[in-house]
Chain A
Amino acid sequence: MSSREKILGTVKTNQPEGRTLPSVAPPMGGEVTDPAKQFVEVLEAIGGRAYIVSGWGRIATIIKEEYTQQHRIVSGCKELAGIAEVKDRYEDPHTLENVDLAILEAHFGVAENGACWITEDRMIERALPFIAQHLALVIHKKDVVPHMHAAYDRIGRAAYGFGTFIAGPSKTADIEQSLVLGAHGPCSMTVFLIDEELSDAGFY
């Protein structure tokens, strides 16, 4: 008998009587009034940064001002073609080793933990959000859901080969519980929240 049959057989014999699945709809109460505000607060608390901006032009300006030492900037957003290398794909993810900054558009943010959901169709290469020295994600301010239950409601039955929640910069506290940002992945993580109702006036 193969191991597969052996394992399945023993499991079937030994598993207890059927228990029904509970509902995963969270109980009412504690609703968030301003998810975007909470998102920014939590993201900053976990070592990330956030900018609420009027649009892509403003994002390009901030990147030019803030990332002066970053020589190789790669983006999956055609709106940023003026300031970044924008390609559909790379033959080999290893060629991304020297990327200083990656700017990608995520699907939405989660207020309770500061995470953004992004799937591989928006990453150019799966390795890019991890191998870049710095990471910036772009979402729309209206696309912030309150909690993880709402996040999975929104993902639904979406088809993807790879998807990930990213919450802040890569980090570790393995040495005596001292928090260090920049373990293996990006040393910093910035989220731009586009607010279509915002005017550029007064922002400069």
Chain B
Amino acid sequence: MKDHAHLATEFNKDEPRVDWHDKTLWFIREKRDKAAGGVPEWEWLRDTASAIKENVLSNLSEYLLQFEDHATQNGVVVHWAADAKEHNEIVYGLLKKHGVDKMVKSKSMLTEECHLNEFLGEQGIEVVDTDLGERVVQLAGEPPSHIVLPCIHKKKEEIGEIFHEHLGTPAGNADPQFLTHAARLHLREKFITRRVALTGVNFAVAETGEFVVCTNEGNADMGAHLADVHIACMGIEKLIPLRQHLGVFLRLLTRSATGQPITTYSSHFKQPRPGQEMHIVLVDNGRSAHLGRKDFRNSLKCIRCAACFNTCPVYRRSGGHSYHTAVAGPIGSILSPNLDMKKYSDLPFASTLCGSCSNVCPVKIDIHEQLYKWRQVIVQDGNAPVSKTMAMKTMSWVLSNPSVYHTAGKAGRWFMLRAPFTVNNGLNPWYKQRDMPEVPKESFGEWYKRNRK
């Protein structure tokens, strides 16, 4: 499998596109800054949100029981899934029970993490993603490249082509207004005819048993309110203790994500409507184990705003697909190794450790520090690539032997001066995208010795 560096190299072949991707995301980061700056108590909000989430993690078992109890009293059926497989089977079981082979789904990164669409596809179930960006990538046969803006890597002309092929829009029409309207008509038919709707969950309240789903498009509501069966899937870390805590999180979420003061819809689902069935699937899939990792557990505070994506110099220039995981970007790079350390051992290295992610995080996760700590765990556990381990071992040997160090330095300078082609070539990874430094006449050691005389 290709790692982040290789996938990023492919993305970087088209330089104007990388520049465009970089600027588009930075524009969103700037909107976030403006929105955050407009709230004088912004830092208080971040501190409070972080403290609430820390309380949640320290009492999670209690809050889960409270939530289950209240949701059940509200007439909602609560399911527990230990892993992705069990989650997928629960959803499939509900569809089978109702004899349904078509379903609408609004955005849920959890179902991406569990590869629900592929699984249901194999069982002959057609899933239609109803978030516009998700529908675009679904028709293109790709995963989302960003958790808030799923098709941020696509140019409007490409979307026009996809719609021309699948929805029959005129060839060459790439007008966002026109394409959005075409999708509105196409998806309205799905909303009207589907009997089962699946949504994600942004927040679930232990005190009341209700859950909140935030969208701008209204697709979660269109699906849920017209369907006979509403299935809501959530990771167990989405709980918050009290309804009033929503005030804190709803103020932070969209300002951090897109710079809007709030999403168009913040819908609170508490009971099924008369005649409707409502199900909640509580999914663990590695989260309870992650809770036991002292250095890494607080990444479970994440509210999926993607502010860390938009600010990250590596994400902006390498694209979401280079992370080969459902949740990309800095937060994905610290969450994914918990799921599969070997498969995602490259991700904590896909960072400059500049710390910008931690600075914009609305719940104050120490993202860049965790990236650094993951690197150590990965190397200690023998999951680092051999080339990197060898290079580090060699480096450590050179640096701990003064005579070897001096000889190597001299040799290096000799080669760079007299035979630059031996270092200025594609075999030297440092030479890619960089010029080698000018060769000094002497080393600092030599200079020091001469001047001390």
Q: Residues of A with Cβ closer than 8 Å to B? A: 2-4, 6-8, 10-24, 26-27, 29-30, 42, 46, 93-94, 97, 110, 112-115, 120, 125-127, 129-131, 147-149, 151-153, 155, 157, 160-178, 180, 182-186
B399 proximity list for chain A (CB < 8 A): none
Cβ of B191 within 8 Å of any chain A Cβ, yes or no, is: yes
Whole-angstrom distance between the Cβ of B231 and the nearest chain A Cβ: 16
B180 A163 Cβ-Cβ under 8 A: no
Task: Check A20/B226 contact, CB under 8 A, given A172-B217, A184-B130.
Answer: no
Cβ of B407 within 8 Å of any chain A Cβ, yes or no, is: no
CA distance A125 to B274 in the complex (A): 10
Q: Which of B44-52, B93-101, B325-333, B340-348 faces chain A?
A: B44-52
B48 A185 Cβ-Cβ under 8 A: no
B265 A165 Cβ-Cβ under 8 A: yes
A165 B217 Cβ-Cβ under 8 A: no
B263 proximity list for chain A (CB < 8 A): 167
A180 B156 Cβ-Cβ under 8 A: no
**Which of B65, B74, B248 is in CB contact (< 8 Å) with A8?**
B65
**Which of B48, B61, B222 is in CB contact (< 8 Å) with A24?**
B48
Cβ of B314 within 8 Å of any chain A Cβ, yes or no, is: no
Given A24-B245, A30-B41, A172-B217, 19 more A-B residue pairs with CB atoms under 8 Å apart are A7-B282, A10-B292, A11-B64, A11-B236, A15-B58, A15-B59, A15-B291, A16-B57, A21-B241, A97-B192, A149-B244, A151-B247, A152-B243, A160-B268, A162-B271, A175-B179, A177-B27, A180-B181, A184-B187
CA distance A110 to B130 in the complex (A): 28
Scoring B57, B136, B266 by chain A CB atoms within 10 A of each residue's CB, the highest score goes to: B266
Q: Residues of B with Cβ closer than 8 Å to A? A: 24, 27-28, 39-41, 44, 47-48, 51-52, 54-55, 57-61, 64-65, 74, 80-82, 86, 130-133, 136, 149-152, 154-156, 159, 176-177, 179-181, 184, 187-188, 191-192, 216-219, 221-222, 224-226, 236, 241-248, 250-251, 258, 260-273, 282, 284, 288-289, 291-292, 294, 297
Whole-angstrom distance between the Cβ of A43 and the nearest chain B Cβ: 10
Whole-angstrom distance between the Cβ of B301 and the nearest chain A Cβ: 11
CA distance A186 to B216 in the complex (A): 11
A175 proximity list for chain B (CB < 8 A): 132, 136, 151, 156, 159, 176, 179-180
A120 proximity list for chain B (CB < 8 A): 273
Q: Which residue of A lies closest to B150 (CB)?
A: A174
CA distance A23 to B244 in the complex (A): 10
CA distance A94 to B227 in the complex (A): 10
The contact sample of 28 A-B pairs, CB cut-off 8 A, is A3-B86, A11-B60, A14-B288, A21-B241, A22-B47, A46-B261, A94-B226, A115-B266, A120-B273, A126-B273, A131-B222, A147-B251, A149-B247, A149-B248, A160-B268, A161-B271, A162-B271, A163-B267, A164-B265, A164-B266, A170-B217, A172-B133, A175-B159, A176-B154, A177-B152, A178-B156, A182-B180, A183-B184
CA distance A97 to B189 in the complex (A): 10
B266 proximity list for chain A (CB < 8 A): 115, 164-165, 167
A184 B219 Cβ-Cβ under 8 A: yes
A8 B247 Cβ-Cβ under 8 A: no
CA distance A161 to B211 in the complex (A): 11
**Which of B152, B246, B262 is in CB contact (< 8 Å) with A115?**
B262
CA distance A3 to B284 in the complex (A): 9
**Which of B131, B244, B271 is in CB contact (< 8 Å) with A153?**
B244
Task: Check A127/B184 contact, CB under 8 A, given A162-B268, A162-B271, A165-B265.
Answer: no
**Which of B86, B151, B264 is in CB contact (< 8 Å) with A169?**
B264
Determine the main DSSP class of A at the interface with B.
loop
**Which of B48, B82, B150 is in CB contact (< 8 Å) with A6?**
B82
Whole-angstrom distance between the Cβ of A32 and the nearest chain B Cβ: 11
B191 proximity list for chain A (CB < 8 A): 184
CA distance A29 to B44 in the complex (A): 12
B247 proximity list for chain A (CB < 8 A): 24, 147-149, 151-152
Whole-angstrom distance between the Cβ of B246 and the nearest chain A Cβ: 6
A185 B221 Cβ-Cβ under 8 A: yes
Task: Check A174/B136 contact, CB under 8 A, given A14-B292, A30-B41.
Answer: yes
**Which of A11, A18, A27, A112 is in CB contact (< 8 Å) with B44?**
A27
Q: Which residue of A lies closest to B27 (CB)?
A: A177
Whole-angstrom distance between the Cβ of B91 and the nearest chain A Cβ: 14
Whole-angstrom distance between the Cβ of B98 and the nearest chain A Cβ: 17
CA distance A127 to B111 in the complex (A): 24
A18 B58 Cβ-Cβ under 8 A: yes
A168 B130 Cβ-Cβ under 8 A: no
Whole-angstrom distance between the Cβ of B375 and the nearest chain A Cβ: 23
B289 A14 Cβ-Cβ under 8 A: yes
CA distance A47 to B441 in the complex (A): 65
A125 proximity list for chain B (CB < 8 A): 225
B264 proximity list for chain A (CB < 8 A): 46, 166-171, 185
Q: Which residue of B lies closest to A127 (CB)?
A: B225
B177 proximity list for chain A (CB < 8 A): 178, 180
CA distance A4 to B90 in the complex (A): 13
A97 proximity list for chain B (CB < 8 A): 188, 192
